[in-house]
Structures are given as C-alpha cells and as structure tokens.
C-alpha cells in the first residue's frame, strides 16, 4: 500500500490535468484533437508516474474509455479511515513450482518438459524443486539435469527466481538421519547456485510437541541450531534462504509446531538476515489470519507458495478450490509491499497429461485476476 506516496502522485497528476485543460480552453483546441492527442498523453502520465509501464506495454494499447474508467482498470482510489490513497495494481510475474507439472497418472515429466509446458501455457518462470536434483544419486546425471534445464529455460525466456531446497517427511529416514539430511540440503544449495537461483526456500524443520510441553524459547534455540550450518553453506554459495511458515494439522488436538505463526517465522528469519516464504495453504491449515500475518511480515517476504486447502490437510490445491479467504490474503499481500513473483505451489498429480495445457492456461488466467482480487 503506497498511502502517502500515492496520495502525492494523485495530487500531482490532478494538477497536471487541470493545467492542460486550462491551456486547451484558452487555445480553443477542438474536442477531436483533445480526444486523440491530449487524453492519451494524460493516461501515459498516469502509467509512467505510478511506475506501471510494464503493465501498459503488455496491453499494447492506449486505454480506450474515459479517464475515470481507465484509472479504475490500472489504479483505484478508495477511502480508508477517512484518507484517500492511490493503490498500485499488481502485475507480478506469474510462476509455479516445478511440482505443478512433474507427476501425472501415467508417469513423470522431465524438468525440461516441465519448462516447455510452462512456457506454452503462459508461465513466466518457475520455482525448481531441488528434490528433483538431490534424489538422483549419479553425479553426472545431476549435472545433466541442471545444465539442460538452465539452457532450455534461457532459450524459452523463463526465469528461475527461486527453488525449494530438499525437504523430507518426519517418517523419512533422510529426515531422521541428521547427517544425511544436512548432506542432501547442502547438495541442493549447490545445485541451486549452479542453476543461478538466488533465493532458496527452506523448511525450518521445527519441533512438533504436545502443547503443554511447548516452550517458545527452547524451540527457537533448537531451530537456530538446526539451520545455522545450512545458512552458512547457503551464504558461501550466494543463495539467500527464505524460511517457510509451517503447517501442523494436529495443532487443534493439543499438538503444536514451531514456525507456524508470522511472529515465529519472522524471528527465525531475522536472526539469519533471511527472507520469508509465505505458504497460504500452511497458514490456512493452522487457522492463521493471512492478511494480518502478511502485513506483519512486510518486506521480509521474499517468496510465495500460493495454494489452497480445506483447512485440515495440506492439499496444495489451486486457489478457490479450498477455504482460504483470498480477499483477506490478497489485501494483506498488497499491504505488505511484496514485489516478487506470484508463485503457485500446487500438486496436479491426478490430472491426466492430456489435460495439463488447459489446466495450466487456467492457472495463469486465474493468477492475473487473483493478484488484484
């Protein structure tokens, strides 16, 4: 939300509009000339001053209706607590996790096939799941995955702005074996660096314990202890960590997991000078108020996992397929000042391969609408 700054821009542009109209009246310029020359210039001033030129270029047209209706498409004025402000409309780059197009009922897509599909349906980049890299045990094959994916993404004009570092379920031996866990996550960090990724999302692997035994300070210290070697390795390879807020579906039954709340994840991120990845599905599963949480995190937010669920399982559904309050969530995201990618983290494993193009195009169209919902 750009309250003071936006209000100033609003006044400046209104003054320009009044001055131009004054001189036009004095010079008796015809209505036709005013319509074909002056109004487009005024509209371009709006686009330029609010730094929304990219959105204007995408439309490739001068806004066609009256100035007021044009502004309703690009920006809008509203009243909050009696103050008028000018709010910038979102035009975030639309990306998705590679898991959006990895598994289908009849098999798997390769990372290169994923990139080609994303380009075809309109995604502008992707978040690469580094499990796709670390689960391959042959080093030369891992190198081939990274090099072929990087080359194809560059050829298609797709950005790789972030990746999800390896993570494992609490019953997975790779999670239980701390030494092996560290080895694989560090390998993922190195793969991310080779791919040119600067932002690595990481699970803080916080403890799950009975509510009556929960101690905030103890959990914080153990989380810092766990993450410190990984943060040092990431810094060495030029990858910034983004700590993800966690889910815990049993929290309502007297069990609690650290780093579920915005305050907890912010405290951990601040300790390392890291960013925060906000997972909307995780927050929904623990009944966290999304708008307030996003406003609290503010500029700490460096990555998004956009997905939905029904509040009792981490389903990774597309928005509106679950119970997330997207009005509240998107308003909170706007207020936070976040300016990164609009990144889906959804699982489409049951969707047949032959239906993926239609689904992908729908997801892109939905993202464009949801950004300003």
Cα distance between residue 352 and residue 144, in whole Å? 27
Residue 58: per-residue pLDDT: 36
Residue 205: per-residue pLDDT: 77
Residue 136: per-residue pLDDT: 86
Residue ranges per domain, the chain? 3-88, 94-370
Q: What's the distance, CA 139 to chain centroid?
A: 31
Residue 324: per-residue pLDDT: 97
Residue 32: per-residue pLDDT: 53
Residue 174: per-residue pLDDT: 62
Residue 253: per-residue pLDDT: 54
Residue 247: per-residue pLDDT: 87
Cα distance between residue 187 and residue 177, in whole Å? 15
Residue 4: per-residue pLDDT: 43
Q: Are 323 and 284 in contact (CB under 8 A)?
A: yes
Residue 256: per-residue pLDDT: 75
State which residues of the chain have pLDDT below 70.
1-18, 20-90, 169-176, 206-212, 249-255
Label each residue of the chain as H, E or C: CCHHHHHHHHHHHHHHHHHHHHHHHHHCCCHHHHHHHHHHHHHHHHHHHCCCHHHHHHHCCCCCCCHHHHHHHHEEEEEECCEEEEEECCCCCEEEEHHHHCEECCEECCHHHHHHHHHHHCCCEEEEECHHHHCCCCHHHHHHHHHHHHHHHHHHCCEEEEEECCCCCCCCHHHHCHHHHHHHHHHHHHHHHHHCCCEEEECCCCCEEEHHHCCHHHHHHHHHHHHHHHHHHHHHCCCEEEEECCCCCCHHHCEEECCCCHHHHHHHHHHHCCEEEEEHHHHHHCCCCHHHHHHHHHHHEEEEEECECCCCCCCCECCCCCCCCHHHHHHHHHHHCCCCCEEECCCCCCCCHHHHHHHHHHHHHHHHHHCCC
- Does the pTM of the predicted model rise above 0.85? no
Residue 22: per-residue pLDDT: 61
Task: Among 3.20.20.150, 3.40.50.2000, 3.20.20.140, 2.60.40.1930, name the CATH number for the domain at 94-370.
Answer: 3.20.20.150
């Amino acid at each position: 939300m750009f309250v003071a700054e936006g209000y100033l821009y609003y006044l400046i542009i209104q003054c320009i509009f009044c001055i131009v109209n004054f001189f036009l009246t004095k010079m008796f310029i015809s209505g036709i000339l005013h319509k074909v020359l002056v109004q487009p210039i005024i509209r371009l001033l709006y686009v330029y001053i609010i730094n929304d030129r990219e959105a204007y270029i995408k439309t490739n047209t001068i806004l066609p209706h009256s100035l007021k209706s044009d502004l309703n498409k690009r920006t809008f004025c509203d009243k909050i607590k009696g103050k008028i402000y000018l709010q910038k409309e979102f035009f975030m780059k639309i990306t998705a996790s590679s898991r959006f197009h990895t598994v289908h009922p009849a098999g798997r897509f390769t990372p290169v096939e994923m990139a080609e599909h994303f380009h075809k349906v309109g995604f502008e980049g992707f978040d690469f799941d580094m499990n796709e890299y670390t689960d391959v045990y042959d080093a030369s094959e891992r190198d081939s995955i990274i090099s072929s994916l990087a080359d194809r993404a560059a050829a298609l004009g797709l950005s790789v702005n972030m990746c999800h570092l390896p993570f494992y379920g609490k019953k997975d031996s790779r999670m239980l074996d701390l030494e092996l866990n560290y080895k694989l996550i560090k390998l993922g960090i190195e793969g991310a660096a080779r791919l040119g990724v600067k932002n690595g999302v990481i699970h803080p692997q916080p403890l799950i314990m009975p509510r009556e035994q929960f101690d905030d300070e103890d959990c914080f210290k153990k989380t810092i202890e766990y993450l410190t070697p990984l943060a040092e390795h990431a810094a060495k390879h030029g990858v910034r960590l983004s700590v993800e807020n966690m889910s815990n579906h049993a929290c309502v039954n007297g069990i609690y997991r650290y780093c579920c709340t915005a305050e907890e994840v912010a405290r951990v991120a601040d300790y390392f000078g890291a960013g925060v990845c906000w997972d909307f599905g995780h927050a929904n599963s623990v009944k966290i108020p999304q708008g307030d949480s996003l406003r609290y995190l503010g500029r700490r937010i460096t990555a998004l996992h956009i997905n939905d669920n029904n509040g009792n399982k981490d389903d990774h559904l597309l928005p509106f397929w679950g119970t997330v309050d997207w009005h509240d969530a998107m308003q909170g995201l706007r207020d936070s000042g976040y300016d990164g990618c609009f990144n889906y983290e959804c699982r489409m494993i049951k969707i047949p391969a032959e239906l993926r193009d239609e689904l992908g195009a729908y997801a892109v169209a939905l993202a464009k609408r949801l950004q300003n919902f």
